[in-house]
Amino acid sequence: MSQAKVHTVTLIQGDGIGPEVTSAARRVIAATGVQIEWVLMPAGAAAAETHGNTLPEETLESIRLHKVALKGPLTTPIGGGFRSVNVALRKELDLYSNVRPVRSSLGVTEHHKPINLVLFRENTEDLYAGLEQDIAPGVAQSLKIITEKASTRIARAAFQWAAQKHRHTVHAVHKANIMKKSDGLFLQSVRKVAAEYPQIQYKEIIVDNCAMQMVMRPEIFDVVVLGNLYGDIISDLCAGLVGGLGVVPGANVGDDCAVFESVHGSAPDIAGKGVANPIATILSANMMLRHLGEEKAADRVQAALTLFLADKSNLTPDLGGTATTDQLVDGILRKLDLLK
């Protein structure tokens, strides 16, 4: 028998519930038999104390070298303090495409309509460029940066994926009626890419209407391409449709590297209690397995998770249960065992 490949993956455990949910995901991957050598690297407030930097160069170097990372959430101080390490990481590594699949098929909630959509969120610019200043007493300014380059490449990522997966519609989300220049440029860029894919239906929707339609008629959405801020907000809205932040995974993908992480943050309200839902991180790790070419293992994890959720037992409190993170993982591992 040929020797199984060993993958080397950078691991950022993260703050708050980060260490709890990333170790849960590691337990599930280990049970699949896929061999991963984890390279633990620092980031965030803890790294500032030990390395004098919230995003040490050696962490970036590790991801550049191994090309793949699994990441727990990192806390960002509100209103002041250091800038978001999550945003910095995505910009430094040019992880321009934030891919977030949202599915009701997990069966966590009884939504009246099936939801199976994928958000492609631009990940490097917009109001997250962090260009802010006080321009006069009582007046502050944040600059919204939109470029043709970044808008075109996120659109291309969305359409390429849609074409590969035989998806039928791409919606571009905007507010170009008000932000005629910035969102106007975003739309112009997406339209050019859309013209290259005549087999895919292309639609545009204004962001506030999009929020309402997502709640009322989520089944009309298939692939959705959005700027950074709208993508951030609509992601959490979509999570709310399918069982909450505990179940929605994500990937930050660039041309060279990919960093896999959940949509949720560090959840300080439940951190350290052992009750965080690890499913979002397990699914992010599963996207990583597929990225690494470990399709069979990823299919098994997906099947085990489906079986586990069908039982509606051993669920964490966010899903209406009383189980701990570890008990939920034990439940998934029992199903994985059955699928050997």
Contact with ligand NAI (CB under 6 A): which of 251, 261, 286, 287? 261
Identify which of 31, 38, 46, 9 has the alpha carbon closest to the alpha carbon of residue 266: 46
Rule CB under 6 A: is residue 264 a binding residue for ligand NAI? yes
- The single-letter code of the amino acid at 295 is E
232 binds, among Mg ion, ligand NAI, none (CB under 5 to 8 A by kind): Mg ion
Spatial separation of the C-alpha atoms in residues 99 and 326, rounded to whole Å: 27
Tokens of 50: 């030990």
Could you say which of 149, 165, 181, 208 is catalytic? Answer: 208
Contact with ligand NAI (CB under 6 A): which of 13, 32, 59, 76? 76
In the window 4-33, what residues touch ligand NAI (CB under 6 A)?
17, 21
Spatial separation of the C-alpha atoms in residues 251 and 258, rounded to whole Å: 7
Rule CB under 5 A: is residue 232 a binding residue for Mg ion? yes
Indicate the SS3 state at residue 201. strand
Spatial separation of the C-alpha atoms in residues 295 and 287, rounded to whole Å: 9
Identify which of 69, 68, 86 has the alpha carbon closest to the alpha carbon of residue 77: 86
Binding region for Mg ion (CB under 5 A) out of 14-22, 81-89, 138-146, 224-232 = 224-232
172 binds, among Mg ion, ligand NAI, none (CB under 5 to 8 A by kind): none
Task: Give Dmax (Cα) for the chain.
Answer: 71
Could you say which of 67, 71, 175, 335 is catalytic? Answer: 175
Rule CB under 6 A: is residue 218 a binding residue for ligand NAI? no
Spatial separation of the C-alpha atoms in residues 168 and 75, rounded to whole Å: 37
The distance of closest approach from Cβ of residue 251 to ligand NAI in the complex, given in angstroms and rounded to an integer, is 12
283 binds, among ligand NAI, Mg ion, none (CB under 5 to 8 A by kind): none
Q: Is 337 known to be catalytic?
A: no
Q: Is 192 known to be catalytic?
A: no
Indicate the SS3 state at residue 69. strand
Residues recognised as catalytic: 128, 175, 208, 232
Instruction: State the residues that interact with ligand NAI by CB under 6 A.
Output: 17, 21, 73-76, 86, 245-246, 261, 264-270, 276-277, 280, 318
